[in-house]
């Protein structure tokens, strides 16, 4: 659910599940991984300086195939088994990323998963070496057809948790992993460590020590950020609802409900936001929305996720609500909407609306029931 004014001290992200990469996110295995791959490279007649930059965020199978292009499937399998043996033997020295133990210990029965390019055996060994709990859902590199940056692993994790990816938050430290999360449609992506600064993660933190989750809202201590979100006002929205272009023709009569992939007008966008948070509104044009008292009800005390209708005043010969602009009430003096002027979703105040002739009248508010 959206919250009140954005706090300078804490960022809040609504989310129903947490999906963690393993290496570099939950466990500090960089040094161990580089030691193992350096040994593997030497054993295979390769220069470690060439191999090490290519190992992060990808499965060992892809790395082996890249550097051993002349090997057949059996040869690649043997090469992968060798690096797995080297790394698993070293896993006892793995240490947790700061904050990982406390965050995972507090999750209880809340839904979470580990999604890693490592094999199941190696991921399990590293989590054990770091004294971290094993999740009920572990999606590893050897359990998916295509590794990161393909979305397979994150799609699989969300499906096993019984959630749409848009309701999950992913924690990643590599560009490949962040691309995988984006491709899967994850609601939010949190970058971990300096390596994530060059990515399009929504925000970047040094480790997990600045995070807390109560099962519905992830809180991030703002003072710990390495890089903040581009628009804190919209951070409560999943990615697919933050970057929707305004398209006048994408109205309720010509658009599949909830589909904002090719843009939306004000009503379609507002209804998609409500649907994400569990409130369904039929695809009504604004005048029908205002007249309807079955799917929605008129209210005088707007609450978060109520719909607000704005216009320039009565139109002769037209019903109230005709051509009205539809927005979403978030909190006192915070209204989310999509309009031609802004071109993308934006949060305005009542004064912002009143300053524009076409929005001078607040016609009223409508409330849709929760699912």
3-state DSSP helix/strand/coil % of the chain, to nearest 5: 35, 20, 45
The DSSP symbol for 23 reads: B
Distance CA 332, CA 355 (A): 18
Determine which one of 9, 23, 142, 152 is catalytic.
23
The Cα–Cα gap between 238 and 85 comes to 40
Burial class (CB within 10 angstroms; exposed 0-12, middle 13-18, buried 19+) of 301: exposed
The verdict on whether 21 is a catalytic residue reads yes
- Joined together, the tokens standing for residue 51 give 């191999």
Question: Where is 139: in which H helix or E strand?
Answer: strand 137-139
**What DSSP character marks residue 232?**
G
Pair 237, 3: CB distance under 8 Å: no
How many other CB atoms are found less than 10 A from the CB of residue 292? 16
Provide the Cα torsion 275, 356, 245, 335; round to 10°.
-30
Antiparallel, parallel or unpaired: β 95-96 and 112-115:
unpaired
Active site (annotated) includes residue 84:
no
Q: What does the chain come to in residues?
A: 371
Tokens of 339: 């309009």
Round to whole Å and give the CA distance between 169 and 184: 11
Residue 96, helix vs strand vs coil: strand
Mark out the alpha helices in the chain (DSSP H runs). Answer: 30-43, 48-51, 60-67, 73-90, 100-105, 120-129, 152-161, 175-184, 239-242, 266-276, 286-291, 350-354
Catalytic residue among 9, 21, 72, 231: 21
In the DSSP assignment, the letter for residue 222 is G
Reference 91, options 116, 66, 65; nearest CA is 116
Q: Are strands 17-20 and 168-172 parallel, antiparallel or unpaired?
A: parallel
Catalytic positions are 21, 23
């Amino acid at each position: 659910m959206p919250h009140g004014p954005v706090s300078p001290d804490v960022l809040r992200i609504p989310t129903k599940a947490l999906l963690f990469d393993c290496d570099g996110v939950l466990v500090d295995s960089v040094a161990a991984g580089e030691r193992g791959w350096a040994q593997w490279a030497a054993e295979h007649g390769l220069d470690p300086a060439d191999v090490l930059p290519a190992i992060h965020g990808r499965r060992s199978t892809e790395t082996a195939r890249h550097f051993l292009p002349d090997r057949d499937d059996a040869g690649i399998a043997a090469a992968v088994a060798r690096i797995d043996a080297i790394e698993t033997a070293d896993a006892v020295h793995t240490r947790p990323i700061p904050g990982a133990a406390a965050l995972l210990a507090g999750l209880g029965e809340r839904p979470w998963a580990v999604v890693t390019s490592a094999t199941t055996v190696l991921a399990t060994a590293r989590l054990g070496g770091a004294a971290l709990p094993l999740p009920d859902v572990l999606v590893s590199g050897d359990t998916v057809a295509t590794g990161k940056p393909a979305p397979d692993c994150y799609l699989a994790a969300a499906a096993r948790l019984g959630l749409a990816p848009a309701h999950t938050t992913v924690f990643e430290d590599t560009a490949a992993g962040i691309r995988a999360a984006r491709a899967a449609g994850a609601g939010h992506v949190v970058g971990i460590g300096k390596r994530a600064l060059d990515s399009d993660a929504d925000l970047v933190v040094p480790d997990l020590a600045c995070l807390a989750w109560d099962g519905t809202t992830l809180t991030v201590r703002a003072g710990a950020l390495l890089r903040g979100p581009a628009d804190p006002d919209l951070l409560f929205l999943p990615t697919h609802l933050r970057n929707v272009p305004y398209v006048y023709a994408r109205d309720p009569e010509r658009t599949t409900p909830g589909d904002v992939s090719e843009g939306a007008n004000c009503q379609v966008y507002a209804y998609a936001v409500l649907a994400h948070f569990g409130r369904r509104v039929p695809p009504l044009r604004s005048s029908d929305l205002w007249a309807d008292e079955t799917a929605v009800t008129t209210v005088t005390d707007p609450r978060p996720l109520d719909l607000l209708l704005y216009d320039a005043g009565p139109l002769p010969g037209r019903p109230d609500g005709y051509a009205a602009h539809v927005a979403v009430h978030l909190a006192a003096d915070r209204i989310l909407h999509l309009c031609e002027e802004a071109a993308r979703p934006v949060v305005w105040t009542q004064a912002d609306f009143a300053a524009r002739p076409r929005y001078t009248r607040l016609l009223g508010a409508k409330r849709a029931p929760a699912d």
